[in-house]
Structure 1
Amino acid sequence: MLKLKDITLSFGNHIVLDDFNYNFQNGTIYGLVAPNGTGKSTLINVILNNLKPQKGYVEYNELQYNNEKTTVKLHQEICAFPDQSELFSFMTGRDHLKLYANLWHNDPQKVKDIISTLKMKTYIDRKVETYSLGMKQRLCFAMVLATNTSVMLLDEVMNGLDPQNVQLISHVLLNLRAQGKLIIMASHLLQNLQQYADQVLFLKNGKIIENLNNKAETKKYLEFHDSSLINDILEESNYQILPNQTILLPIDKLSQDKFDSIIHILLENNISFTVGKISLEDLFNKFYG
């Protein structure tokens, strides 16, 4: 378990994390969702001990960043997605993977499996200076795999990837979860995140404002866009209008007759609608407008 207790961090008068508390469990994929500049990357840097909170502590397997010895032990258990600026242009992709495997004392033979899994064989032995942005992004993810750490922190890992590679990495993430890895991801690709995240944490004002159990969420909504007609058919129904004028109507609050009546009117007036559980995009619009 990765435990964050009473974490408070501010820059001057600007509080980024405010008495932040959460226990992250192994074998779970967590999504961090918030607009840019509202604490996602800061939270990851606190977990890495790159930023020191003014209050609170980080603990993993009963270890805290108390001294050099415990810090070294924690960094053997926790790895973060490297920035592309940290890549060495004169080295090959394979060199980077071997370097990370050695630094984290992982079996160098696993590098071959990673290259195969991520379909990197055609370019892995070229110098990184020849890589496209998508190739570099995949290499950075491969470097995290080469560490084989228990905790993996991934900040916008899908950036710059085409849909095929987004699905490939999503599949790898599910395999990592099955191995018992703890994965914390900050991502703006909410539709993709909803496919594999177990828990999704929405952050605002330095706190968690919504902790969505994505896999257990079964509540269904009728979703469509507002119009003058809509106001008439909804009457006193318990609905929400999002800032983008999308209407969310909880189905469990409707009688069958009322639901059938609304659907009939929507169809009769050629108004598009969907029925399903609330999307992360809708929640983002709800919380951040």
Structure 2
Amino acid sequence: MQLCLSVKNVSKRFGDKMAVDDISLIVHRGEIYGLLGPNGAGKTTLLSMIAGIIEPDSGEILVNGLNVLDPRIRGMVGYCPQEAIVYDDLTGLENMMFYAGLQGLSGNHVKRKCKELLDQMGLSEYANKKVRTYSSGMKKRLSFAISLIGDPELLLLDEPTVGMDPRIRRSVWESILRLKEEGKTIILATHYMEEADELSDRVAIMNSGRIIVEDSPENLKKKYGPRAVIDVKLAEPIMESKSIIEKIRLYASEGEVIYKDDVLRIHVDDPDIVSPKIISEMVGKGVKLKSLKITTPTLEDVFLRLTGRRLVEE
């Protein structure tokens, strides 16, 4: 497979905080490469360095064999930042044309391209409305469209669906997959495990500025996830949750139990054997159960097992 991006031993420090710590990775042409991790893991800093916005303290980043600071790669990389950088006093189309101009693009054919991109993002009916009237999700989609103006080979997407409802999020996923079919190389930074799982060919799980593991989503779940997960939905909150959870940990693989929103999520290796014991333990303690479901592990379960913390902390 042809190489698109090479990151070699890259580090970046801000004061006392090591934001990116000796990261190396390669991304092949036409691949969707996911960066999965919680807020503060270093995803945005890494993407900013790949985009050439900030310089690494050490290491090297190459796109198509060229250093990212080389002016020749300017049109090769499109960047959709986590916070949409758009102008409220301009319309959506005016924002598109402004950013096209910054790339030296102009003319009627460019205007047509901008309108097409707005249509792809579901924004055509808002193209001539001031951006101040846009929701945060609409601004994010506008930012996504802007990143595509120059027809880049490498697309960097930083939390592209934050603030979007499920229907719009799904439409953005479809846009990302369509871009992959067109031959684009995409790096997707997200803290949504289902987004990384659904879209990525390979995923690098990041924590505290480092990549702790990298593989396809399926391989990660097979290698590091539990054999199964038991989701127990409770009819009412547990009054003595700490003592009950400690009891249930005895049946969980590596003691992994999550209690959130009246649901107990329990990692197990032998669900058929363990499930009756868990039910008996909880009923014996007077806990009222609504349902019990045995499911397959997710990338969040992998992250929990590798780091001891959840992707989204309370």
The interval holding the TM-score normalised by the smaller chain is: 0.7 to 0.9
Q: Measure, in 1, the Cα distance between the counterparts of 2:274 and 2:68.
A: 57
TM-align CA RMSD? 2.9
What's the CA shift string for 1:96-137, capped at 9, x where partnerless?
223334527595233232222222122111121222222212
1:222 matched to which residue of 2?
A: 228
Structure 2 unaligned spans of 5+: 233-243, 260-264, 284-288, 310-314
2:294 matched to which residue of 1?
A: 274
Return the match for 1:119 from 103, 119, 122: 122
What's the CA shift string for 1:164-190, capped at 9, x where partnerless?
110000001011111221211222222
Q: Measure, in 2, the Cα distance between the counterparts of 1:84 and 1:267.
A: 45
What's the CA shift string for 1:146-169, capped at 9, x where partnerless?
232111111111112111110000
After TM superposition, the structure 1 = structure 2 runs for residues 49-64 of structure 1, keeping only pairs within 5 Å, are: 49-64=52-67
Q: TM-score, normalised by structure 2?
A: 0.76
2:150 matched to which residue of 1?
A: 147
1:91 matched to which residue of 2?
A: 90
Q: Measure, in 1, the Cα distance between the counterparts of 2:51 and 2:197.
A: 25
Return the match for 2:113 from 110, 115, 138: 110
Structure 1 unaligned spans of 5+: none
After superposition, the Cα gap between the structure-2 partners of 1:155 and 1:288, relative to the gap in structure 1 and judged at 3 Å, is farther
After TM superposition, the structure 1 = structure 2 runs for residues 157-236 of structure 1, keeping only pairs within 5 Å, are: 157-216=160-219, 219=222, 221-224=227-230, 234=251
Q: Percent identity of the aligned residues?
A: 26
After TM superposition, the structure 1 = structure 2 runs for residues 67-78 of structure 1, keeping only pairs within 5 Å, are: 71-78=70-77
State the 1:65 CA deviation: 4.1
Q: Measure, in 1, the Cα distance between the counterparts of 2:253 and 2:82.
A: 42
Q: TM-score, normalised by structure 1?
A: 0.81
After superposition, the Cα gap between the structure-2 partners of 1:104 and 1:189, relative to the gap in structure 1 and judged at 3 Å, is farther
Counterpart contact for 2:245–2:257, Cα < 8 Å: no
Return the match for 1:8 from 2, 8, 11: 11
Deviates more, 1:36-45 or 1:78-87: 78-87
Amino acid of the structure 1 residue aligned with 2:268: L
Amino acid of the structure 1 residue aligned with 2:253: Y
SS at match of 1:76: coil
Amino acid of the structure 2 residue aligned with 1:15: M
